[in-house]
Amino acid sequence: MTTITPSHRSTRPRARSSLTTLMAAAVLSLTSLSAVAATEMPPFPDVTGDVVKGDGNDYNIKFNIGLTQSSAQYRGLEYFKKIVEQRSDNHIKVQTFHSAQLGDDLQSVSALQAGTLDMTAPSTSPMVSMFPQFAVFDLPFLFPTPEIADKVLDGDIGQQMLKDASTKGLVAIGWSENGYRQLTNSEHAVTSPADLDGLKVRTMQNPIHLDIWRTLGANPTPMSFAELFTALEQGVVDGQENPWITIESSKFNEVQPYATETNHVYTPFITLVSERTWKRLPESYQQLLRDAAKQMGDYERHVSRVMNDQIKQELKDDGMKITELTPEQVAVFQKDLAPVYDDWREKIGGDLIDRIRAESKVDSK
């Protein structure tokens, strides 16, 4: 068998390969199994298409994500594995890893660049330092609905962004859904920006996210997702923001009694392949990965949206106090966050922002 992925080296930058980290990931996996049982996910669509002929060699692909196995993203990853293995007649084997077992988003991207990992699907947010145009997805209240996000990502804008991101040792081959981010905290209900004054909110290491929460009066605190639960449990930070599915699958509700459905940012996942891996594959298998990434993305979005309302209700039933903002309350947040667009227009590119807002049928003035 031709193995694409060499063994991980202990010198990989900041790789969390210690026994402690692996044990923590295993605990997360076990605790998330109850969520898998409680939430019935949509079945996989049938795999269609003929068997793809390769070059006679066998390949092994390691695909790592940061979320747990009860997430919609991991369900999508399982479907990707099914498609690729079935249509390659098992000449490609996909090994799936969840819960940041092989590193968080940024560590996984670095491993792709080094050729020590084959695939990952990070949120666009932590990648802004590499691809500044991705910052557009972090602008507050950009996409009114997930369907409009699909339209932009699957259209000319999103496809050009995939091409632009296929540099620096990476090949970008598809989009899927991280979803709308919601706020949770351990202190009190949040219904207005005034309620955020001084609240220490965990964010990714992303300058727009930092700008958003500072503008709203909070104290944003960048931190790795893999470290977040412990930080919430120990009171290192007061709150965090993630989609409902991530909140539930990561058990944040166990240490965060309050939540607000803000829908303040919609972010996608981007499916990436190591350029070193990509170049070793025959063209027929490259196209197979592209096709499988598109099908995975479509299915994962469906799973995400089916699960979203169900999980929100489950969180309520488990005792989480969820505040649903009125349109008038949302408008207050939008007004307070208007300066963020001014701050970032030149850095991101006003043309890109205007094109997306035009596709979203939002006034770009």
Same domain, 76 and 224: no
Same domain, 132 and 67: yes
pLDDT mean over 5-23: 37
> What is the residue-averaged pLDDT of the chain?
89
Residue 365 lies in a domain: no
User: Please, which pLDDT band fits residue 39 given cuts at 50, 70 and 90?
Assistant: low
3 state SS for the chain? CEECCCCCCCCCCCCCCCHHHHHHHHHHHHHHHHHHHHCCCCCCCCCCCCCCCCCCCCEEEEEECCCCCCCHHHHHHHHHHHHHHHHCCCCEEEEEECCCCCCCHHHHHHHHHHCCCCEECCECHHHCCCCHHHHHHHCCCCCCCHHHHHHHHHCHHHHHHHHHCCCCCEEEEEEEEEEECEEEECCCCCCCHHHHCCCEEEECCCHHHHHHHHHCCCEEEECCHHHHHHHHHCCCCCEEEECHHHHHHCCHHHCCCEEEECCCCEEEEEEEEEHHHHHHCCHHHHHHHHHHHHHHHHHHHHHHHHHHHHHHHHHHHCCCEEEECCHHHHHHHHHHHHHHHHHHHHHHCHHHHHHHHHHCCCCCC
pLDDT at 271 > cutoff 90: yes
Give the CATH number of the domain where residue 298 resides: 3.40.190.170
Residue 197 lies in a domain: yes
**Amino acid 4: pLDDT:** 53
User: Please, which pLDDT band fits residue 124 given cuts at 50, 70 and 90?
Assistant: very high
Residue 334 lies in a domain: yes
pLDDT at 242 > cutoff 60: yes
Same domain, 219 and 294: no
Same domain, 194 and 250: yes
**Amino acid 245: pLDDT:** 84
**Amino acid 31: pLDDT:** 40
pLDDT mean over 111-119: 98
Same domain, 251 and 288: no
**Amino acid 246: pLDDT:** 85
Token pair 């699958």 in the structure block, residue: 249
pLDDT mean over 57-78: 95
pLDDT mean over 302-324: 95
pLDDT at 196 > cutoff 90: yes
Longest dimension (CA), the chain: 63
pLDDT mean over 209-226: 94
In whole angstroms, how large is the CA radius of gyration of the chain? 20
**Amino acid 70: pLDDT:** 84
Q: What percent of the chain has pLDDT over 90?
A: 80
Residue 364 lies in a domain: no
pLDDT at 340 > cutoff 80: yes
Same domain, 187 and 164: no
Same domain, 125 and 108: yes
Total-model pTM = 0.81
Same domain, 31 and 58: yes
Residue 68 lies in a domain: yes
**Amino acid 117: pLDDT:** 98
pLDDT at 182 > cutoff 80: yes
pLDDT at 244 > cutoff 90: yes
Same domain, 187 and 321: yes
Same domain, 203 and 240: yes
**Amino acid 40: pLDDT:** 76
Phi and psi, residue 28, nearest 5°: -60, -40
Considering its fold, how many domains does the chain have in total? 2
Same domain, 256 and 282: no
Residue 123 lies in a domain: yes
Structural domain harbouring 166: 2-177+269-309
Residue 18 lies in a domain: yes
Residue 122 lies in a domain: yes
Same domain, 151 and 12: yes
Structure tokens at 310: 């169900």
pLDDT mean over 154-172: 98
